[in-house]
Amino acid sequence: MANEVRVRFAPSPTGALHIGGVRTALYNYLFAKKNGGKMILRVEDTDQARFVSGAEDYIKESLEWCGVVPDESPYSGGEYGPYRQSERKAMYMDYALRLVEEGNAYYAFDTSEELDAMRERLKAAKVASLQYNSITRAQMKNSITLPEAEVKAKLAAGEPYVIRLKVPSKEEIRLNDMVRGWVMVHSSAIDDKVLMKSDGMPTYHLANVVDDHLMKITHVIRGEEWLPSAPLHVLLYKFLGWEGTMPQFAHLPLLLKPDGNGKLSKRDGDKLGFPVFPIQGEFPDKEGKLEKVSGYRESGYLPDAFTNFLALLGWNPGTEQELFSMSELVEAFTVERIGKSGTKFDINKAMWFNQQYLKNKTNEELAVYLLAELEKQDITCEKSKATQIVGLLKERINFPSDFWTQGQYFFNAPEKYDEKITRKKWTTEAVLILSEYAKELENIAELTSETAKSTLITVLDRNGIPIGKIMQSIRLAISGTGMGPELMDIIAILGKEEVIKRIGIAIEKLPVKVVD
Residues within the interface to ligand GLU (CB under 6 A): 10-12, 44, 204, 208, 222, 226
What's the distance, Cα to Cα, between the start and end of the chain in Å? Answer: 82
Cis peptide upstream of residue 82 (ω within 30 degrees of 0): yes
Of 208, 200, 215, nearest to 237 by C-alpha is: 208
Q: What DSSP assignment string belongs to 209-249?
A: HHHHHHTT--EEEEEGGGGGGHHHHHHHHHHTT-GGGPPEE
Closer by beta carbon to ligand GLU, 213 or else 394: 213
Closer by beta carbon to ligand GLU, 44 or else 418: 44
Closer by beta carbon to ligand GLU, 23 or else 394: 23
Cβ atoms within 10 A of the Cβ of 476, count?
23
Closer by beta carbon to ligand GLU, 252 or else 392: 252
**Residue 43 β-bridge partners:** 84
Distance between CA 60 and CA 74 in Å, rounded?
A: 10
Closer by beta carbon to ligand GLU, 12 or else 62: 12
Closer by beta carbon to ligand GLU, 84 or else 222: 222
Distance between CA 416 and CA 421 in Å, rounded?
A: 12
Closer by beta carbon to ligand GLU, 9 or else 403: 9
Decide: 219 and 261 in contact? Cβ < 8 Å.
Answer: no
Cα atoms found within 13 Å of the Cα of residue 464, Cβ hemisphere only: 0
Decide: 302 and 358 in contact? Cβ < 8 Å.
Answer: yes
Closest approach of Cβ 47 to ligand GLU, in Å? 9
Closer by beta carbon to ligand GLU, 57 or else 102: 57
H-helix or E-strand spanning residue 405:
helix 402-407
Decide: 46 and 204 in contact? Cβ < 8 Å.
Answer: yes
Closer by beta carbon to ligand GLU, 177 or else 304: 177
Distance between CA 475 and CA 414 in Å, rounded?
A: 11
Decide: 61 and 13 in contact? Cβ < 8 Å.
Answer: no
Distance between CA 250 and CA 492 in Å, rounded?
A: 58
Closest approach of Cβ 241 to ligand GLU, in Å? 21
Q: What SS3 string covers 103-145?
A: CCEEEECCCHHHHHHHHHHHHHCCCCCCCCCCCHHHHCCECCC
Closest approach of Cβ 348 to ligand GLU, in Å? 28
- What lies within 8 Å, CB to CB, of 469 at 6+ separation is 429
**Residue 291 β-bridge partners:** 283
Active-site residue identified among 89, 154, 266, 344: 266
Closest approach of Cβ 246 to ligand GLU, in Å? 13
266 is annotated as an active-site residue = yes
Instruction: Please name the amino acid found at residue 267.
Output: R
Decide: 63 and 70 in contact? Cβ < 8 Å.
Answer: yes
Closest approach of Cβ 190 to ligand GLU, in Å? 16
- Hey, is 277 helix, strand or coil? strand
Instruction: Please name the amino acid found at residue 260.
Output: G
Closest approach of Cβ 308 to ligand GLU, in Å? 24
Crossing angle for the helix pair 449-463 and 487-494, to the nearest 10 degrees: 120
Decide: 145 and 136 in contact? Cβ < 8 Å.
Answer: no
Closest approach of Cβ 305 to ligand GLU, in Å? 25
> What amino acid positions are annotated as catalytic residues?
266
